[in-house]
Structure 1
Amino acid sequence: MVSTKRRYSSEFKQGEIELAIKLSSIKEAEMELGITKQMLHQWMYAFKNKGEINNLNSEDTKSAYSLVEENRRLQKELRILREEKEILRKAATYFSQNQK
């Protein structure tokens, strides 16, 4: 079987990158755009190296980046707090058993 390689225009790639940046996760971008994350990363890397990524630095893009970063930070903080809560729960159980 002969496989054919798809060719995408530069404008198409830039549009896909902009959409991917606005979405909250790479997994969403994969499903929404119908391209693999490897392909998307390659395009972003190529655009960044060519200096064309600067065209993507609109206020919307910066806002999307900041939201994604804040979401990651909050998820990490939530995970830590849940771990601390679990440790405290176990400690309370341990100490209540030893007081009897």
Structure 2
Amino acid sequence: MSGRSKYPEQFRRDAVELVNSSDRPLRQVARDLGVNHETLRSWVNTAKQASEAGPVEDSAVTDEVTRLRKQVAELEKEKEILRKAAAYFAR
């Protein structure tokens, strides 16, 4: 759904969900919503293609997750060292 649409994204998602969950024909749903039936058909097809493609792998997210996992491991090591030091000095 490229470009600037006069319909908000949430409206488009709701309209597609209505088409998928309703037993009414697409043309009737489009008429009830005040949307051109071809526009609604395009939204439905785009949503179907997106769901078939599955989640998009974002390299920035993957890199961030890897970085954060390394940071967590490092912090856990530091915590263990500090715990042992606290136990030693508490004696």
TM tier, smaller = 0.3 to 0.5
**TM-score, L = length of structure 1:** 0.40
**TM-score, L = length of structure 2:** 0.43
Q: Looking at both structures, which has the greater relative contact order when contacts are Cα pairs under 8 Å and sequence separation is at least 6?
A: 1
Larger Rg over CA atoms: 2
